[in-house]
Amino acid sequence: MYRRGALVVDAVAGVADPTTGRAVTSDTPFYSSSTAKGVASTVAHVLVERGAFSYDTPVVELWPAFGAHGKAGVTVRHALTHAAGVPGMPADITPEDLGDWQKICVLIADATPWWEPGTRTGYHALSYGYLIGEIIRRATGKPISQVLREEVAGPLGVADELFFSVPTSELGRVARLEEAEGNTAMLASMPDEFPLFKVAPRAVQPTAEFGNRPDVLTSDIPAGGTMSARAVARMYAALLGEVDGTRLVSPERLREITTVAITGDDQILGFPAARGLGYDIGFFGPLNSPTLFGMAGSGGSAAYADTVSGIAIALTKNRVTYGQFNAFNQVGEIVTKALSES
């Protein structure tokens, strides 16, 4: 946890690799699935701050093929708010396919929107990372992993802790994931009609097996990513304000990106959603607040910041617990108590 730019908590416990007994350290990266969507969004905001594009830039200005089948009006803002209408993935998609950037971008560009872009929001579980990543690649000529390193992770001193594609030389540092008891059976029991399978089919669900694959870890699949809690908390702290001389966005930009941009029932998940520009607003549990923004990942990781208290907090772990954020909420209870007493 950071507060007003200062690191105030850096707690670690447990084993990063049960086969070797390697302990978790502060710089241990964990595959953290959708927590990385907040990282991809941050890279986009830094580029908007630099003038590379704006939130209202039509995606077709950067990526002409994307305009097929009625998508010419989709803007960067629509992409950031999960409102572009292209959340789907083919039922037979494989982890190998996800590592083929060009193949997935062709699929997304040729997709027909599921709703009129900009009118609804629906969780783009996998396509989000490619949408934002291809916008960034077209604007800069560089893959999103390189821009993350050059514009965000490098300046913050966490280039070896915050990744989309992990360098092969760093794979030995990554924590090994393991399934919590009952996860495999639960996933197998879900019907094929389960809504989330339309956007993230069974073969590419973020299981421990998926997150341990070297080809997944070393590929740009920026709906997910690999990070230490310390690194992603530092990133959020640098959105809130200055961290050791580095601030990622202006105060005016921070207000814009953390204001609710779209609300309504999520067209994929079915529950009410409130989204800023690339972040969820609020989080169930003790930290919930309209001034809280960030992203959580299936498996139990999460990273959020609060514009009022000035805290940025993240948690990563390697026991995959789908849809459960008990550990993060326990941390939230401690933070809430500490803030009330300070």
| pLDDT > 60? residue 324 | no
pLDDT confidence band for 287 (50 / 70 / 90): confident
Task: Give the C-alpha separation, 277 to 78, whole Å.
Answer: 9
How far CA 78 is from CA of 59, 121, 220, 272, 276, in Å, comes to 9, 9, 22, 18, 11
Task: Give the C-alpha separation, 225 to 238, whole Å.
Answer: 19
Question: What confidence score (pLDDT) does residue 322 get?
Answer: 67
Task: Give the C-alpha separation, 257 to 249, whole Å.
Answer: 10
Alpha helices by DSSP H, the chain? 37-50, 59-62, 76-80, 95-98, 101-109, 127-140, 144-148, 183-189, 208-212, 214-217, 229-240, 251-257, 326-341
pLDDT tens-digit map of 290-311: 999 999 998 889 999 999 999 9
How far CA 324 is from CA of 6, 60, 80, in Å, comes to 29, 38, 24
In sequence order, the β-bridge partners of residue 179 are: 320
pLDDT tens-digit map of 193-230: 888 899 999 999 999 999 999 999 999 999 999 999 99
Count of positions (residues) in the chain: 342
Specify the pTM. 0.95
Mean pLDDT of the chain: 94
Contact of 105 with 130, CB cutoff 8 Å? yes
Question: What confidence score (pLDDT) does residue 325 get?
Answer: 59
Question: What confidence score (pLDDT) does residue 326 get?
Answer: 64
Q: Which two tokens stand for residue 41?
A: 């969004």
Residue 58 backbone dihedrals phi, psi, to 5 degrees:
-60, 135
**Residue with the larger pLDDT of the pair 46 and 338:** 46
Question: What confidence score (pLDDT) does residue 54 get?
Answer: 98
pLDDT tens-digit map of 68-82: 999 999 999 999 999
* Topology adopted by domain 2-341: Beta-lactamase (3.40.710)
Contact of 39 with 45, CB cutoff 8 Å? no
pLDDT confidence band for 323 (50 / 70 / 90): low
| pLDDT > 80? residue 286 | no
In sequence order, the β-bridge partners of residue 292 are: 306
Average pLDDT over residues 9-32: 96
**Residue with the larger pLDDT of the pair 336 and 103:** 103
b (16+ CB within 10 A) / e for 146-179: bbbbebbbebbebebbbbbbbeeeeeebbbbbeb
Question: What confidence score (pLDDT) does residue 342 get?
Answer: 63
Residue 107 backbone dihedrals phi, psi, to 5 degrees:
-60, -45
Question: What confidence score (pLDDT) does residue 181 get?
Answer: 86
Question: What confidence score (pLDDT) does residue 194 get?
Answer: 87
Question: What confidence score (pLDDT) does residue 276 get?
Answer: 98
**Residue with the larger pLDDT of the pair 195 and 266:** 266
Domain boundaries along the sequence of the chain = 2-341
pLDDT tens-digit map of 111-135: 999 999 999 999 999 999 999 999 9
